[in-house]
Amino acid sequence: MILLKNEYKHLILISIIIIFASENSLVHAGKFRGTPVIEQIDTVEHSQHVKLIRAFDYVDNQGEIWTAEANRLIPLHLLSDEIRQVRPLPSEFDYLKTMLIYHSQSVQATAPWRDARDIVYDALLDEGLQENLAKMIYAVVRAEGWRWEPLGSSCYKSCHSNAPLLRWRAMPDYEQLNETIDWILFDFPTLDQIDIRVDALILKTGPHIFAQ
């Protein structure tokens, strides 16, 4: 009887831990607010773009709000041709909200680019993408995604006072990046392991005069 009672105590304790962990994950989970309304644009100047008609938000797991502003033209691709043309990928419409939020940040350029990059993985999961696919897309964004100087930084006040926006993309070793994608899909590494491996395959981080 004593052993049985102890077993019940252990079961109750485990149940409490599981409930607490579940509630804690719900509290810190990110979420999208609002439904984006888009108009597809396909012109010579803006091929395969969309126009965001209605703004919407993403609230990350720290409670910070990321807004995709309305009336902006946004590319309908999050990843470059070097990746999209050599391997099967989820449809862009499977993670449209994440793509719109991320591209909007690169154009609005008010938040640091690292912060915008770091919400991509959680946003992909919140949008319903499988974990391994979310890690794959996050890794590519980390390797080749947009980087920028936030508007109002000292760079705009000195040597680049006439530039409306300072942004660029990193240049990875695409052969290594494709090998890394296979590694992610088959070996299920952690995000920390992905970050270390992806950072090591970036050949050019961008203009040296900016903080990288």
Q: What's residue 165's pLDDT?
A: 65
Q: For 33-37, what is the mean pLDDT?
A: 93
Helix (H) or strand (E) holding 48: none
CA nearest to 40, candidates 83, 109, 106, 92 = 92
Place of tokens 């990193």: 170
CB 140 within 8 A of CB 177: yes
Tell me which amino acid residue 80 is: S
Q: Could you report the per-residue pLDDT of 83-120, keeping only the tens digit for each?
A: 999 999 999 999 999 999 999 999 888 899 999 999 99
Q: What is the DSSP letter of 92?
A: G
Q: pTM of the predicted model, to two decimals?
A: 0.80
3-class secondary-structure state, position 83: helix
> What gap in Å lies between CA 77 and CA 179, rounded to an integer?
21
Q: Is 206 left (phi over 0), alpha (psi -120 to 50) or beta?
A: left
Q: Could you report the per-residue pLDDT of 114-156, keeping only the tens digit for each?
A: 999 999 999 999 999 999 999 999 999 999 999 988 766 655 5
In this predicted model, which residue has the larger pLDDT, 181 or 72? 181
CA nearest to 127, candidates 149, 95, 101, 158 = 95
Q: Could you report the per-residue pLDDT of 41-77, keeping only the tens digit for each?
A: 988 888 889 999 999 999 999 999 999 999 988 988 9
At residue 33, does pLDDT exceed 70?
A: yes
What are the beta bridge partners of residue 168?
147
Name the packing angle between helices 174-187 and 191-200 (round to 10°): 170
> What gap in Å lies between CA 191 and CA 200, rounded to an integer?
14
